[in-house]
A = this chain, B = another copy of it.
Amino acid sequence: MNKQGFYFIEPFTEDFYRFFKLEGVHYEGRTKYQQVHCFKSRLFGKVLFLDNKIQSAQVDEFVYHEALVHPAMIAHPSPRRVLVLGGGEGAVLREILKHGPVKRAVMVDIDKELVGLCRKILPEWSRGAFTDPKVKLVFQDARRFVERSKTPYDIILSDLTEPLDGGPSLRLFTREFFEIVSGTLGDDGLFVLHAGSTDPHYNHFFSSCVKTLMEVFPVVRPYWTSMFSFSLPWGFVIASKNIDPSALDEKEVRRRLAARGVKRLGHYSPQIHRAAFALPPYLKKAIRAGRLITDAKPFVWKA
């Protein structure tokens, strides 16, 4: 029994650390925008960290990406134009492209070097999505892109890193940004973002995202699932002008999945669609305590 060797140490919080035994180091370095660690673990497979926050792991990136993409996509009657903010690994694109109606999927990521890295060291994530003719990649600040965008999108997906102090995502979780997003959505459009942990201790970012979206959108539906590789329950929010994704019954979800030819799902299902919107009482209470996030007073993630 041999426990020595190479490890990745993650200061999850100041009081809690995770140690990953390495099967191999895929990458360690800095792009212009962020610190990158990519390694292999027997338990989690390939794992990607940006600025010391886990992004996704091979063992359950399907859970994260299906949970982010499909509820909003299915809620839209016919999503043709889709915009991804962030999403450097390419797995959001991969899931979007499973929906037959999609004509155009634009991905805006600030970090060209990172996207290049992901294509090279994490091909299992994108599985060819980057070269799909429907896909357009734009390397630009997401806010700048959305501000100048004219054509309305059916779905906008935010797959951004946490708003770390000085990091590239700080002004991408504010009321002002959400208002710009709202202006770029079509009438039946839906906006979805992942919004951090929903655990009983650290859920203030999630709660505040929900609270802030409520100031901008008529319909706001938080939901969650459990992310094994994050060691956390993880929150998402769908916001829209009129469509309520939680109102779809299982039968209709099943019908749309079949009609669009969506296949190879490991996490998402009609049942999961319904169940994900059920929040435990502690989380409902937490949402009431969320705060408004603005450009003037952004939410700064504490490492």
State the A residues within 8 Å of B (CB). 1-11, 13-22, 24-25, 28, 35, 37, 39, 41-44, 49, 52, 59-60, 62-63, 198-201, 224-226, 228, 231-233, 265-269, 271-272, 274-282
A44 contacts which chain B residues (CB < 8 A)? 16, 201
Q: Is the CB of B9 within 8 A of A4?
A: yes
Q: Is the CB of A9 within 8 A of B7?
A: yes
How far, in angstroms, from A17 to B5 measured CA to CA in the complex?
A: 12
A275 contacts which chain B residues (CB < 8 A)? 274-278
Question: Could you say which of B6, B35, B201, B267 contacts A37, with CB atoms under 8 Å apart?
Answer: B6
* Chain B nearest Cβ from A272, distance in angstroms: 5
A6 contacts which chain B residues (CB < 8 A)? 6-9, 22, 25, 28, 37, 39
Contact A16-B25, Cβ < 8 Å, known A9-B5, A226-B226, A266-B282? no
- Which chain B residue has the least Cβ–Cβ distance from A24? B28
Contact A60-B18, Cβ < 8 Å, known A6-B6, A233-B228? no
Q: Is the CB of B10 within 8 A of A52?
A: no
* Chain B nearest Cβ from A14, distance in angstroms: 6
A8 contacts which chain B residues (CB < 8 A)? 4-7
How far, in angstroms, from A35 to B1 measured CA to CA in the complex?
A: 13
Question: Could you say which of B4, B63, B231 contacts A11, with CB atoms under 8 Å apart?
Answer: B4
* Chain B nearest Cβ from A187, distance in angstroms: 29
New A-B pairs, 6, CB < 8 Å, besides A2-B14, A63-B200: A1-B19, A14-B42, A16-B41, A16-B43, A266-B282, A269-B281
* Chain B nearest Cβ from A61, distance in angstroms: 10
A21 contacts which chain B residues (CB < 8 A)? 14-16
